[in-house]
Amino acid sequence: MVKALIVDDHPLFREALAFILSQVEGGSTSAQAESLEQATAALRQDTSFDLVLLDLGLPGANGLNGVLTVRNMIPTTPIVVVSAVEDRDVIHRAAQIGVSGYIVKTSGTEMIRTALTSILMGNAHFPTSLDQGGGTSAGGEGSDISQLTPRQLTVLSLLGEAKSNKQIAYELNISQETVKIHISAILRKLGVSSRAQAVKLAYKMR
């Protein structure tokens, strides 16, 4: 079960995103906020979200400054910008400050669902016109630990301590389903087929 925070000042769009998230594998539970102030208040109470969806046009957000504010509060949690802004420079800057994806609000429901599913698996997603690899990008295949997100590196480290999925979920305050998603992404990115191989390869790359 994915736990998401949806931050948008349009209630109908928040509900639409919540519905799309409910259709991802394993389902989801969503908290909602309509301003940056509400979002930061929610994060002060709970930082265990698996995903944050954030609009750039929030009251009090000042564009990408709002993303940076949220990023500083939850440095390892994937943040996805969902915005009507299609400016190439804005999308590039969002990518540079470390968001996991940028979804344009005019995208279709199925495309948004596919993008969110991919992001939850540890991939990045940016508009196809962006020179970030285009479309949904997994960063390429091969044994390169630099492809892993900060959260995936943490999960890999805990795997190296022989922690079970249940123990990892407890330590990171996430669901076991989310742990499985992270592990699947780690195996795919490192080009291995087992947890033991992933840990062994990670040690070799240190």
Q: Each residue of 117-135: pLDDT tens digit?
A: 888 888 888 886 554 333 4
pLDDT band of residue 144 (cuts 50, 70, 90) is: low
- Mean pLDDT, residues 77-92 taken together: 89
Give the pLDDT of residue 76: 85
How much helix, strand and coil, in percent to the nearest 5, is found in the chain?
A: 50, 15, 35
Q: Whats the size of the chain, residue-wise?
A: 206
Instruction: Return the closest-CA partner of residue 79 out of 63, 110, 102, 60.
Output: 102
Query: Is 139 a residue whose pLDDT tops 50?
Result: no
Q: Hey, what domains does the chain have and what are their CATH numbers?
A: 2-137 (3.40.50.2300), 145-205 (1.10.10.10)
Q: In degrees rounded to 5, what are phi and psi of residue 31?
A: -105, 155
Res 68 pLDDT > 80: yes
Average pLDDT over residues 38-60: 92
Calculate the CA 28 to chain-centre distance. Answer: 14
109: tokens are 């429901």
Strand 51-54 vs strand 28-33: parallel, antiparallel, or unpaired?
unpaired
